[in-house]
C-alpha cells in the first residue's frame, strides 16, 4: 500500500442555507479544496461523495453523476457512498483505499447534506431510518429517545450526571465560537443547558446536535507526490471501519459502542500508536452522551470517567486531550453526509497549524471518529503531520 496524504481541504459554513442549493454547496467546498491543494480539476482521477438521504431530503438521486457534471469533472468516475451519519468518513475511506492501492493518484472526497428544506418532524423520521426502522422508528423511537436510553443507563452504571452531559455542550459551544464555519458561534453555560427544553429525558435541546446544511471536501494524493502540490501534506496513516447490530435492543451494552471500540483497536494497531499519542481528536457528538461514550470507547479515558473528565475540562482546548475543536456536531453543526469530511478538514487544519483561534499547540497526531445511526457503523481515521 502507498502512503496517502490530504493535500487540500475546504468546506462551506455550516448552518441554514436558504440561498444555496445542494449542488451549490458541493461546488463551493470542492473549489475550496482544489484551491487549497493548488491544482485544477483536470488533475483529478476519481471522486467519492458521502450523503445519507438526498433522495428523501431534496428528491435528488444519482449524486455521483450530478456532481461530476456540476463540478466540471466529466468523464471521471464519482461514486456516492452511504452509511447514515458515517457517510462522509466512509467516502474518505474509499478514497484512501483507492489511492493506497494505486488504483488512482489524485482523488477528491466530499460530503454534503441539505436538511433544512423540510420540517423538523419529517427530517427526524428520515434520520430515524438510520436505525432499525421496523423495531425502533416504527414504534416511535427516534434518535433522541435512543440516545436518551444510553444516557440513562450510563447514569445508572457510572453515576454520570446531567451536569456532566451539559459540560460537553458548553465546551463544544466554546470551541465553536472560535470557528468561523460553525453553525452556532455563541458560548453557553451549564445553566443554559439545564434550563433548555427537555427533548427526551435526560437529554435537553442543548444536548442535541442541530439540523444543518453544509458540505466539505478534501483532495487525496500518494505521499510521494503530495509535497509537489502541498507545502504541508497531512498523512492519513490508518483507516478502520467496524459494524454492530443496527438495533439498540440487540446489543450487549447500552453504554458502549462496540463498533467504535473495534475500529479504534484496529486503527491503533495499524498505526502503531496508543490513545496517549494523540494530540487532537474529533468525535461524533450527535448528543452529549455520544461524546462521553466516544472518549471512553476510543480509550482516551477509562469507562465511566468520560463524564467527570468532561466536567473537569480535560477535553477542552488547553486540557489533557482537546476534543471537537471545531465545535463538534453540537456547535459546528451536523449535515450528516458532510460531518465525517468536516472532521478530516478540521484535523488537517490543526496538524497544519492553521486552526485560527482554536489551534492546539504542537499538534502532530490527530484522530477522527464518525458513527452511523446509533452505532451500527463506526469509522476511525488517524492522521499525522511532519
Identify whether residues 20 and 60 lie together within a single domain.
Answer: yes
Identify whether residues 50 and 141 lie together within a single domain.
Answer: no
Determine the 3-state secondary structure of 103 from DSSP.
coil
Confirm whether 274 is domain-assigned: yes
CA gap 379, 280 in Å, rounded: 17
Domain boundary among 234, 267, 285: 234
Determine the 3-state secondary structure of 261 from DSSP.
helix
Task: Give the pLDDT of residue 386.
Answer: 80
Cβ atoms of 15 and 333 within 8 Å: the answer is yes
Confirm whether 124 is domain-assigned: no
CATH of the domain at 203: 3.40.47.10
Residue 360 belongs to what domain range? Answer: 130-210+237-384
Total domains present in the chain: 2
CA distances from 88 to 46, 113, 176 (A): 16, 10, 20
Identify whether residues 29 and 60 lie together within a single domain.
Answer: yes
Confirm whether 125 is domain-assigned: no
CA gap 38, 377 in Å, rounded: 34
CA distances from 352 to 53, 122, 378 (A): 33, 40, 26
Confirm whether 320 is domain-assigned: yes
Confirm whether 258 is domain-assigned: yes
CA gap 12, 27 in Å, rounded: 10
Identify whether residues 242 and 340 lie together within a single domain.
Answer: yes
Identify whether residues 181 and 110 lie together within a single domain.
Answer: no
Task: Give the pLDDT of residue 200.
Answer: 97
Task: Give the pLDDT of residue 80.
Answer: 98
Nearest to 297 by CA among 251, 361, 234, 363: 251
Identify whether residues 110 and 161 lie together within a single domain.
Answer: no
Task: Give the pLDDT of residue 193.
Answer: 98
Confirm whether 107 is domain-assigned: yes
Domain boundary among 181, 200, 234: 234
Identify whether residues 57 and 176 lie together within a single domain.
Answer: no
Identify whether residues 172 and 104 lie together within a single domain.
Answer: no
Nearest to 125 by CA among 55, 192, 56, 210: 56
Task: Give the pLDDT of residue 231.
Answer: 81
pLDDT mean for each 10 residues of the chain (386 residues): 97 96 96 96 97 96 95 96 98 98 98 96 94 92 96 98 98 98 98 98 98 98 91 95 97 97 98 98 98 98 98 98 98 98 98 97 98 98 95
Identify whether residues 103 and 44 lie together within a single domain.
Answer: yes
Confirm whether 123 is domain-assigned: no
Identify whether residues 99 and 162 lie together within a single domain.
Answer: no
Alpha helices in 275-356 (DSSP H): 288-297, 306-311, 328-332, 336-351
Domain boundary among 169, 202, 234: 234
Identify whether residues 296 and 340 lie together within a single domain.
Answer: yes
Task: Give the pLDDT of residue 230.
Answer: 80
Q: Which residues contact 48 (CB under 8 A, 6 or more apart)?
A: 78, 79, 80, 81, 91, 92, 94, 95, 98, 107, 108, 109, 110
Confirm whether 325 is domain-assigned: yes
Identify whether residues 136 and 83 lie together within a single domain.
Answer: no
Active-site positions read 85, 334
Amino acid at each position: 500500500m502507498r502512503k496517502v496524504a490530504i493535500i487540500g481541504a475546504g468546506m462551506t459554513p455550516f448552518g441554514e442555507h436558504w440561498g444555496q442549493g445542494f449542488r451549490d454547496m458541493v461546488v463551493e467546498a470542492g473549489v475550496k479544496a482544489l484551491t487549497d491543494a493548488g491544482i485544477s480539476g483536470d488533475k483529478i482521477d476519481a471522486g467519492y461523495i458521502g450523503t445519507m438521504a438526498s433522495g428523501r431530503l431534496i428528491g435528488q438521486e444519482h449524486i455521483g453523476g450530478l456532481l461530476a457534471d456540476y463540478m466540471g469533472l466529466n468523464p471521471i468516475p464519482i461514486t456516492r457512498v452511504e452509511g447514515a451519519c458515517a457517510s462522509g468518513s466512509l467516502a474518505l475511506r474509499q478514497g484512501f483505499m483507492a489511492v493506497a492501492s494505486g488504483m488512482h493518484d489524485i482523488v477528491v472526497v466530499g460530503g454534503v447534506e441539505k436538511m433544512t428544506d423540510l420540517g423538523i418532524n419529517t427530517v427526524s423520521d428520515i434520520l430515524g431510518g438510520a436505525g432499525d426502522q421496523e423495531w425502533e422508528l416504527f414504534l416511535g423511537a427516534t434518535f433522541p429517545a435512543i440516545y436518551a436510553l444510553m444516557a440513562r443507563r450510563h447514569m445508572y452504571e457510572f453515576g454520570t450526571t446531567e451536569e456532566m452531559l451539559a459540560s460537553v455542550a458548553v465546551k463544544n459551544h466554546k470551541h465553536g465560537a472560535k470557528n468561523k464555519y460553525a453553525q452556532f458561534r455563541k458560548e453557553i453555560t451549564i445553566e443554559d443547558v439545564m434550563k433548555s427544553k427537555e427533548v427526551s429525558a435526560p437529554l435537553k435541546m442543548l444536548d442535541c446536535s442541530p439540523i444543518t446544511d453544509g458540505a466539505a471536501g478534501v483532495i487525496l494524493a500518494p505521499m510521494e507526490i503530495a509535497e509537489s502540490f502541498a507545502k504541508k501534506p497531512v498523512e492519513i496513516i490508518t483507516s478502520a471501519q467496524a459494524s454492530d447490530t443496527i438495533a439498540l435492543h440487540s446489543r450487549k451494552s447500552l453504554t458502549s459502542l462496540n463498533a467504535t471500540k473495534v475500529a479504534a483497536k484496529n486503527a491503533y494497531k495499524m498505526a502503531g500508536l496508543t490513545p496517549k499519542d494523540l494530540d487532537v481528536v474529533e468525535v461524533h457528538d450527535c448528543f452529549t452522551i455520544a461524546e462521553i461514550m466516544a472518549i471512553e470507547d476510543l480509550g482516551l479515558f477509562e469507562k465511566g470517567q468520560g463524564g467527570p473528565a468532561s466536567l473537569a475540562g480535560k477535553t477542552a482546548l488547553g486540557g489533557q486531550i482537546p476534543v471537537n475543536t471545531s465545535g463538534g456536531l453540537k456547535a459546528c453543526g451536523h449535515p450528516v453526509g458532510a460531518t465525517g469530511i468536516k472532521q478530516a478538514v478540521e484535523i488537517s487544519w490543526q496538524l497544519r497549524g492553521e486552526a485560527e483561534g482554536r489551534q492546539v499547540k504542537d499538534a502532530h497526531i490527530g484522530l477522527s471518529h464518525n458513527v452511523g445511526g446509533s452505532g451500527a457503523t463506526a469509522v476511525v481515521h488517524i492522521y499525522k503531520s511532519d
